Chains A and B, each alone.
Chain A
Amino acid sequence: MAGTQYRGSEITDVDQFVKDAAGLESEREKEIGQHIGYRYDVNLVPDYNRITPFLSKYMETMGWDDLNWLEDIHMGYEDGAPAVFDRNNNGWVSIPDTIDLPDNQQDRDMIARELLLKFQMSDRHPLVMLRKAYMKF
């Protein structure tokens, strides 16, 4: 219904959804039993001072002056664990617990971009098999 108030909770801490997997802060979220909105700031633009050597090499390979589509990639949180949404897989891919999380979202986003890129380009990505099965020769 148009004109209703925003009744979700604000993201105030980088570890908010790690410490509290449900993240149901507002009355409305408690009522419907789900978090309202993304579990990360989708509008956060990247800080290029924090770019990693791997991502710089990717930009150079593709002939781009910036992160291009990876500007939209952020580290999110699913079921209390850090994860990245993979649009090619239409699902969340988890960050292994062997990886130490930095204390700020910008550095976490750079890790998310690296891991997602390596996964999407690998032979074990589900898209590889789907492509073999359904591509037009």
Chain B
Amino acid sequence: MASVSDADLKQMTQEERVTALGMRTDQLTGRAMRIEFNPDEEERFEYPWAPAVDFNKRTELDVDEMTSTEVNTRIRELMAEGYGTIVIKNPRGKHSLGVGILTKLNLIFEGSLGYFGVGLIDGPNVTINGRVGWSCGENMLAGTIVVNKNAGSTFGAAIRGGDLVSKGSVGSRTGIDQKGGTILVGGNTGALTGFMMQRGRMVICGNAGKNLGDSMYDGTIYVGGEIQSLGVDAVPGELTDLDKAWLTRKLTQYGLMPEKGVDHFRKIVAGRQLWNYDNLEPSEKKIVL
């Protein structure tokens, strides 16, 4: 990588930065694409650019008169000042609050959020003492989000990692297109929960609506209550001792452990009937030949 200081990069346009970093002139010929781990890599637990925040350094922010953009900018400024615990007061259902936080942080909302709350996060622990609108935790990568009341539809849409918890009930299409992570629901969930799920785990302590796990490709759904109907290619799986140990640990962690334990949970997995790999490819090859 070309040696250019961050201060110099800051003065440049994006085009100039790309050129200065050698990304335009990199010689790709003869270079292997193979990347190998270095077992002696330095032990580091956060991204190189992450601000050094201290969980014990706490502040409060009243956002009643602020726009969503102003709130999110201010959260970043506070993190740069080292605040590791930030309490947001009076969020009043504003949309897109707390999005795109890519490092550790304790973020507490005293109130409810609107649409797309705390999406795209990669590390923080978020507590929401209220409700959330559509698509809370959308595309979340890592961290925890605990909603202490109900949540709207598409809760955890396209989530890729981390724990997303609602202690109440949630709307329809929960975890649509889930690609990883864990979604826990203390109450009930609506129709088409787990629609097009690809991997990850979902735990519903209450009942699940129609078409649970419809078109799921992979992943696991555990349901403690009644299932109105299973979707296409969602089939019962065997609840193993490892599943039970994991469920017990996870539900206890978030105060959702049912009094009767986890033995009654049902496990739903993909039936693999929709796995069609390159069905047309051989015939296409023949046509080309």
Contact = CB atoms under 8 A, between A and B. Distances in A.
Residue of B17, B37, B275 with highest tally of chain A CB at under 10 A: B37
A133 B275 contact: no
A103 interface: no
Contacts of B161: 68-69, 72
A64 B14 contact: no
Given A42-B199, A118-B43, A32 B277 contact: yes
B39 interface: yes
Contacts of A1: 276, 279
Nearest to A64: B144
A98 interface: yes
B282 A99 contact: no
Contacts of A116: 37
Contacts of A4: 273-274, 276, 279
B47 A121 contact: yes
A12 to B, nearest CB: 16
Contact of B44 (A69, A84, A122): A122
Contacts of B273: 2-6
A45 B1 contact: no
Interface in B162-211: 162-163, 180-182, 199-201
Nearest to B34: A94
Contact of A54 (B43, B55, B253): B43
A129 B1 contact: yes
A131 B278 CA distance: 35
A37 B272 CA distance: 9
Contacts of A58: 45
A58 B44 CA distance: 9
Contact of B42 (A69, A118, A134): A118
B51 to A, nearest CB: 14
A119 B39 CA distance: 9
B180 A134 contact: no
A71 B182 CA distance: 9
B48 A128 contact: yes
Given A2-B232, A71-B182, A45 B275 contact: no
Given A118-B38, A133-B14, 10 more contacts: A4-B276, A7-B275, A43-B219, A64-B144, A69-B142, A71-B182, A91-B33, A93-B36, A94-B37, A131-B49
Interface of B: 1, 6, 9-10, 14, 17-18, 21, 23, 33-39, 41-49, 55, 104, 106, 123, 125, 141-144, 160-163, 180-182, 199-201, 218-220, 232-233, 242-243, 245-246, 249-250, 253, 269, 271-279, 281-282
